[in-house]
Amino acid sequence: MRSIGRVVLLLALGAWALPAAAQQKANDNIQAKLSREATANPSSVAANRALGIWYYKANRFAEARVPLEQARHLDPKDGVSALYAGLAAEQLKDYAAAKDAYNTYLAVGKTKSVRNDIRARLVTVTKLEAQASAKEAVAREAQIAQVPGSPTTVAVLPFTIGGNDPNLQPLQVGLADLVISDLAKPKKLTVVERDKIQAIADEIALSKSGQVDATTAVRAGKLIQAGRIVKGSLISTGGTNITMTSSTVNTQTSANVGAGMNSNGTLDQLFALEKTLVFDTFTDLGITLTPAERQDVDRRPTQSLQAFLAYSRGLMSEDAGRLDEAARFFDNARSIDPGFSAALSRAQSAAAQSQNTNTKIEANLRSSSEGSAVTAAVTGNAAAAPLTNTLSTVVGDVNPTTTNTVATTNSTSAAPPATRPAAADATGTADQPAPRTGQVTIVIKKP
Amino acid sequence: MRQQILPFAFLIAAAAPLAAQDPSSTAVIIDPQYVSYTLGSGSIARTISQLGVPFAVIVPFSDRFNIDISSSYANSQVKVPGSATSSISGLTDAQVRGNLTLGDNAAVITLGVNLPTGQYKVPDAQQAAAGQIGNDFLIYPVTSMGNGFATTGGVGFAFTAGEWNVGIGASFRYSSAFDAYQIQTSVLRFTPGNEARLRVGLDRPVGDGSFNVSLTYSKFGDDQVADSTFGTGDRALVQTALAVPLSGNRDLLLSAWDLYRATGQQLGGVPSPSENVGNAGIAMGFQSGGLYIQPNVEERIWTYNGANAGLLTNAGVRLRFDMGMLSVNPSAMYSFGSLYNPGLPSTGVTGFKASLLIRLH
């Protein structure tokens, strides 16, 4: 017994004493092994996937993409390859490729918690993509300005908020968000997402102190490649009185399209004024709505001004990257108006984004049934695939040894006896904890 | 003691050059366990205990071929008040097994040998301890001190069918004669019947978790002692488990198995009635920092010759944490229940088990 104790102690000391160099060498060995496996089996999904995951984990993202894309090509239904292809593409700031890969995982991935993570991740990646596109657009502005945007592609710029009531400032994004949502409903226009507009706005400092000058607004429209821009404003004119205006501008000519809108009312009539603005914009753009489409557009997400103000504050916080704060504002909007479904979905999305990291996605994946593919890469077992566990169990059941007993101890319930204790069975001694009556006669012939 | 350690040292030495193939992937597992059950109380109490130390070395030669070598040290005792303690200790048989994977995890060929490094020619005084650890109801970590030289060859296949993975396997075990017991001045030379196994199983992901179910059927040839042949009954084992991750780093494991042994004969033509052991368990695990904690409870039912023979409740906790390259898995379990004999009062059973599994990888 003392000797066995020494062996255990030596094993433990050996583990702690392994220098970092040995670990590095082991990693190099794994990479070399996975590379050999992928080269020898270019049509193996498992081999390519394992090599790609290993490269990703070694922060060699460009190298990771090649085998991962090969694995995706070989098996378009392999969710793990798609997921890691997305993670690698995101690290390389190829957001379009990342979104494509993530959407593939949403379609074929098997792990529900990872799919939820990816949905939140897609929101973040879309914003990052918009920011990258905005930078690129500004860099190529002269070239882009030569290409006229389609007349049916419309961008709604942040509203200009005037007057002395600072509480209304969040409506610059809230009203723009509402108008974008309404203009998109009939599906007769291509309405630029608010994220893209916000990214351009941030890039060219479109809105300074809540003001948008006409020249900069047209410039923004050209950069987004929108044929038309909608500029709105809300002026507090004292007490609860407000004036809402809007104009639709042709980005190529900088000329107004249609008559625009200029209406007075009170804050209580904010949503009615917004609907008037939207219907007038449709008229200016030459879009005729059916009665059903009008009814759809006329539907209001909330009747509560306070809920809408909280929602608008949430959008501002979200734009500034303060996701926890955004989630609280959206939650506040939902608590003021429990029927405000957009606030609920925004609250969930902001909360998910604030907690969403690639590390969390990987952790969720590794604890799922798809995690065996990652383990295969980390351990250098390229041949490992979901079927590995199945085959391993088959071996344990048809050719059991003590290895199976110790390998499964503490991971499952007490395992049943894997083999027959032949001699004890034959003599009945194995049954004796509950003794049976009977007579055993042993006849042994002399040799 | 030195003699007992020698085979162990041989196994480690044999594994060393194998490990040199790819040291980063070699796994060493050792699982010291102490199990003790007390049947009845007072002057008729019988205590069967075992200190078992199973250990295994798994060496992947390549992605497709690995070898594992395993054995155990065991010290088993049967104590009955007023009687001499029956005790046996030492190394058990060693198993060397090679597995070759074919295709993209499509098939596996497995070959193994059972080397008779265990305890043979067991004298009278040790036979109770050597035999009672093989009870299928009070499962001990080491169930036999020696089964003789044997070779096993098998093949397994795995494939997908929709969301399911299907695993099918078959094997044949050829056993040779060995000197099981020393009875006075004679030796009981025993030849276990050969065994054919067939296994069919299914597994699939369920949400973020997994489900599996399998059936393993073992058909035995006749055992032989001198000119006498007999068969102790074929065995069928059904196993199933459902693992479900829950929110908050928790998970739920539901598992069950049922072992059925058909009627047969024991040595001397004594009838060996059928028996059935069923076991169902539930475990709820959760992660707390670097420590995984899994309280668990399970119920086991034994029927013998169609009559209720035993009922056992096991409650315990399993832990898991990492220390460098070591995965450490301590566990403890308390058991209580009863054994039944037709026409006799039931016999109370209490017991406990403690283990410390350490895995180096």
| Section B175-200 average pLDDT | 91
Q: What pLDDT does residue A237 have?
A: 86
Judged by CB atoms within 8 Å, which residues 221-260 of B form the interface with A? 223, 225-228, 230, 232, 235, 237, 239, 241, 245, 253, 255-257, 259
Of A30, A406, A433, the CB nearest to B48: A433
Residue of A nearest to B330 (CA): A410
Domain region containing B316:
2-360
Residues of B within 8 A of A427 (CB-CB) are 131, 181, 266-267
Residue of A nearest to B205 (CA): A369
Note the CATH number of domain A19-137+362-366: 1.25.40.10
What percentage of residues in chain A have a pLDDT greater than 90? 41
What tokens does B284 get?
A: 């709820």
Residues of B within 8 A of A390 (CB-CB) are 105, 158, 165-167, 201, 203
Which segment of A18-32, A240-254, A321-335 scores lowest on mean pLDDT? Answer: A18-32
- Kindly report, residue by residue over B60-111, the tens digit of the pLDDT: 887 788 999 999 999 999 998 888 899 999 999 999 999 999 876 789 999 9
- Kindly report, residue by residue over A117-130, the tens digit of the pLDDT: 898 889 888 888 88
Q: Do B55 and A370 touch (CB under 8 A)?
A: no
Q: What pLDDT does residue A213 have?
A: 66
Shortest alpha-carbon distance between residue A208 and chain B (Å): 44
DSSP string across B103-157: TTTTEEEEEEEEE--S--SB-HHHHHHHHHTT-SSS--S---S---SEEEEEEEE
Q: What pLDDT does residue A23 have?
A: 60
| Section A305-330 average pLDDT | 91
- Kindly report, residue by residue over B279-320, the tens digit of the pLDDT: 999 999 988 877 889 999 999 999 999 999 999 999 999 998
Residue of B nearest to A438 (CA): B270
pLDDT at A68 exceeding the cut of 90 = yes
Task: List Cα–Cα distances, A305 to A266, A310, B95, in angstroms.
Answer: 11, 9, 76
Q: b/e for A334-361, b at 16 or more Cβ within 10 A?
A: bebbeebebbbebbbbbbbbbebeeeeb
What tokens does A445 get?
A: 């012939």
Q: What pLDDT does residue A432 have?
A: 58
A342 vs A414: CA distance, rounded Å: 50
| Annotation: CATH topology of A148-289 | Rossmann fold (3.40.50)
The interface predicted TM-score (ipTM) is 0.89
Name the residue ranges covered by the structural domains of chain A. 19-137+362-366, 148-289
What percentage of residues in chain A have a pLDDT greater than 70? 85
For chain A, the average pLDDT equals 83
A51 vs A42: CA distance, rounded Å: 11
N-term to C-term CA, chain B: 29
Q: Sorting pLDDT into bands at 50, 70 and 90, what band is A134?
A: confident
Shortest alpha-carbon distance between residue A151 and chain B (Å): 47
Q: Sorting pLDDT into bands at 50, 70 and 90, what band is A385?
A: very low
Shortest alpha-carbon distance between residue A373 and chain B (Å): 12
Judged by CB atoms within 8 Å, which residues 4-63 of B form the interface with A? 5, 8, 12, 22-25, 28-33, 37, 39, 46, 48, 53-56, 58, 60, 63
Q: Do A426 and B232 touch (CB under 8 A)?
A: yes
Q: Do B183 and A442 touch (CB under 8 A)?
A: yes
Q: How many alpha carbons lie under 13 Å from residue A184 in its C-beta half-sphere? A: 13
| Section A389-401 average pLDDT | 89
pLDDT at B7 exceeding the cut of 70 = no
Q: Do A420 and B105 touch (CB under 8 A)?
A: no
Do the strands B209-220 and B65-79 form a parallel or antiparallel pair, or are they unpaired? unpaired
Judged by CB atoms within 8 Å, which residues 256-295 of B form the interface with A? 256-257, 259, 266-268, 270-272, 275, 277, 279, 281, 283
Q: Do A413 and B283 touch (CB under 8 A)?
A: yes
The enclosing domain of B116 has a CATH number of 2.40.160
Q: Do A381 and B63 touch (CB under 8 A)?
A: yes
DSSP state of A429: G
Q: Does residue A306 contact residue A270 with C-beta atoms inside 8 Å?
A: no
Listed in sequence order, the residues at least 6 apart from A411 whose beta carbon sits closer than 8 Å to its beta carbon are none
Q: b/e for A252-279, b at 16 or more Cβ within 10 A?
A: beeeebbebbeeeeebebbbebbbbbbb
Listed in sequence order, the residues at least 6 apart from A263 whose beta carbon sits closer than 8 Å to its beta carbon are A243, A244, A245, A273, A276, A277
A175 vs A182: CA distance, rounded Å: 11
The verdict on pTM exceeding 0.80 is no
Mutate to test the interface with B, among A429, A437, A439, A440 (most CBs of B within 10 A): A429
Bridge partners (DSSP) of residue B33 are B52, B355
Mutate to test the interface with B, among A51, A387, A442 (most CBs of B within 10 A): A387
- Kindly report, residue by residue over A254-286, the tens digit of the pLDDT: 899 989 899 999 999 999 999 999 999 999 999
Number of H helices, E strands in chain B: 2, 24
Bridge partners (DSSP) of residue B66 are B60, B99
Q: Do A426 and B55 touch (CB under 8 A)?
A: no
| Other residues' Cβ atoms within 10 Å of the Cβ of residue B46 | 20
Q: Do B134 and A421 touch (CB under 8 A)?
A: yes
Residues of B within 8 A of A434 (CB-CB) are 137, 302, 304, 309-310, 339-341, 347
Of B165, B347, B360, the CB nearest to A387: B165
Q: Do B112 and A399 touch (CB under 8 A)?
A: yes
Do the strands B46-60 and B209-220 form a parallel or antiparallel pair, or are they unpaired? unpaired
What tokens does B317 get?
A: 């906790």
Q: What pLDDT does residue A101 have?
A: 96
Residue whose C-alpha is closest to residue B68's, from B9, B146, B14: B14
Q: What pLDDT does residue B86 have?
A: 92
B327 vs A116: CA distance, rounded Å: 31
Q: Do A430 and B97 touch (CB under 8 A)?
A: no
Of B135, B281, B298, the CB nearest to A433: B135
Between B321 and A366, whose confidence is greater?
A: B321
Q: Sorting pLDDT into bands at 50, 70 and 90, what band is B216?
A: very high
Between B126 and A353, whose confidence is greater?
A: B126
Q: Do B104 and A413 touch (CB under 8 A)?
A: no
Q: What pLDDT does residue A4 have?
A: 56
Q: Does residue B333 contact residue B21 with C-beta atoms inside 8 Å?
A: no
Q: Do A433 and B132 touch (CB under 8 A)?
A: yes
CB-based contact, B304 to chain A, within 8 Å: yes
Q: Do B132 and A379 touch (CB under 8 A)?
A: no
Number of H helices, E strands in chain A: 21, 6
Which segment of A1-15, A297-311, B236-250 scores lowest on mean pLDDT? Answer: A1-15
Q: Do B270 and A428 touch (CB under 8 A)?
A: yes
Chain A to chain B, count of Cβ pairs less than 8 Å apart?
Answer: 353
What phi and psi, each to the nearest 5 degrees, are found at residue A125?
-65, -35
Long-range CB pairs of A7-12, under 8 A, 24+ apart, other chains included: A7/B8, A7/B12, A7/B30, A8/B30, A8/B358, A11/B28, A11/B30, A11/B326, A11/B358, A11/B360, A12/B323, A12/B326, A12/B358
pLDDT at B22 exceeding the cut of 60 = no
What tokens does A57 get?
A: 């984990």
Q: Does residue B24 contact residue A380 with C-beta atoms inside 8 Å?
A: yes
* Count of domains forming chain B: 1
Of A111, A422, A424, the CB nearest to B208: A111
What tokens does A240 get?
A: 């609860």
Q: Does residue B284 contact residue B250 with C-beta atoms inside 8 Å?
A: yes
Residues of A within 8 A of B126 (CB-CB) are none
Helix (H, G, I), strand (E, B) or coil at B246: strand
Q: Sorting pLDDT into bands at 50, 70 and 90, what band is A384?
A: very low
Q: What pLDDT does residue A312 have?
A: 96
The highest-confidence range among A220-224, A385-389, B203-207, by mean pLDDT, is A220-224
Place of tokens 């409740």: B313
Q: What pLDDT does residue B12 have?
A: 46
